[in-house]
Structure 1
């Protein structure tokens, strides 16, 4: 059991090292020697766990996905599905240096997916997971009356994914972090597809007190 745990931990270390290398140096920096050096092991140790460079890249992609799942799952806990949807999309933007590095990795991953069926298959799985998270919040918003019942949740999710991807690419090209104005692009598309936020009617304190008094004496 301990040996299996060591095996899993060693793979995780190499995956984290590959993620760091690609985020820093791009896909061209992904060499067996550089990943092994980053992880603090020999190249022989790395080749014992991975058969190819694509295997290393896929392991790094899973490590990156694990790091963003926690904040996304936390965002989904908001009671308002509409607010959860907005928060979920915000967490994917390169608003921090760490997230900007992750976006550099994903750009490299996309590029490799165009040439490797193995990487392409994993990339599609990642997108299905990401789109599914968004569609799930849209469906929850429909149940809460925060989105039109006739709205196509899957199509809207794909639109929002495309918008986030576009913002991410623009940020990398500009060499800056995502600005508040780019968050407003997301707000604008959400409002365009889900409609304006429902107006909550707040009962005046006097009316509420009168209603409670009437109920008590009834």
Structure 2
């Protein structure tokens, strides 16, 4: 009887192996051969799942985004306004090894998206989704009276998104997966200014 293979599980195993290699050695070392070796598969076993390294990187980016969104949904469930916004931002910030490794996958994807319209579209759609969620939380906070700044909500969301994405770059460049100090404090400082 032939062995039944869970294709979705196999893809996730390959993505996890890709993350480990990128975190340890960088994107250039994440060859299909190295990824297969890291995952414990023969080199040719990757082709049915990811014909090219580019396909694997695109899947890995989508997986990072989906995983982050799952965490966000969990921590914001039943919350609104500033508590929901704070929880959202904390899940994106690279505050532990897992989220630093996610940043190390996302940044090479951004590099490719600069010259690849399809990848740029994936990134843009992801950021539009985050923008809409964050805007909703800010609107709720303004309605509740916890935000009084005259700066409009769209500008505030833009500032927060730039902070979150910039934090990912800083974390990916930090030596030995070290978390950048003060990210939580910077977030709290920003949120405190909203009441001005």
After TM superposition, give the deviation of residue 70 of structure 1 in Å: 2.6
Q: Distance in 2 between matches of 1:173 and 1:18?
A: 18
Who wins on radius of gyration, i.e. which is larger?
A: 1
Q: Deviations over 1:109-134 (max 9, x none)?
A: 21222233332222222222222222
Q: Does 1:109 align with 2:87?
A: no
Matches within 5 A, 1:9-28: 9-28=9-28
User: Residues 16 and 63 of structure 1 are in contact (CA less than 8 Å); yes or no, is this contact kept in structure 2?
Assistant: no
Structure 2 gaps of 5+ residues are none
Larger RCO (CA within 8 A; separation ≥ 6): 2
Structure 1 match to 2:81: 81
When the two chains are superposed, the root-mean-square deviation of aligned CA atoms in Å is 2.6
Structure 1 match to 2:40: 40
CA 130–26 in structure 1, closer or farther in 2 if over 3 Å, else same: farther
CA 48–182 in structure 1, closer or farther in 2 if over 3 Å, else same: closer
TM-score (ref. length: structure 1): 0.75
TM-score (ref. length: structure 2): 0.82
Q: Distance in 1 between matches of 2:170 and 2:111?
A: 16
Provide the secondary structure at the position in 2 that maps to 1:177: coil
Q: Distance in 2 between matches of 1:174 and 1:35?
A: 23
User: Residues 14 and 39 of structure 1 are in contact (CA less than 8 Å); yes or no, is this contact kept in structure 2?
Assistant: yes
Q: Distance in 1 between matches of 2:125 and 2:57?
A: 15
Structure 1 match to 2:189: 188
Structure 1 gaps of 5+ residues are 197-218
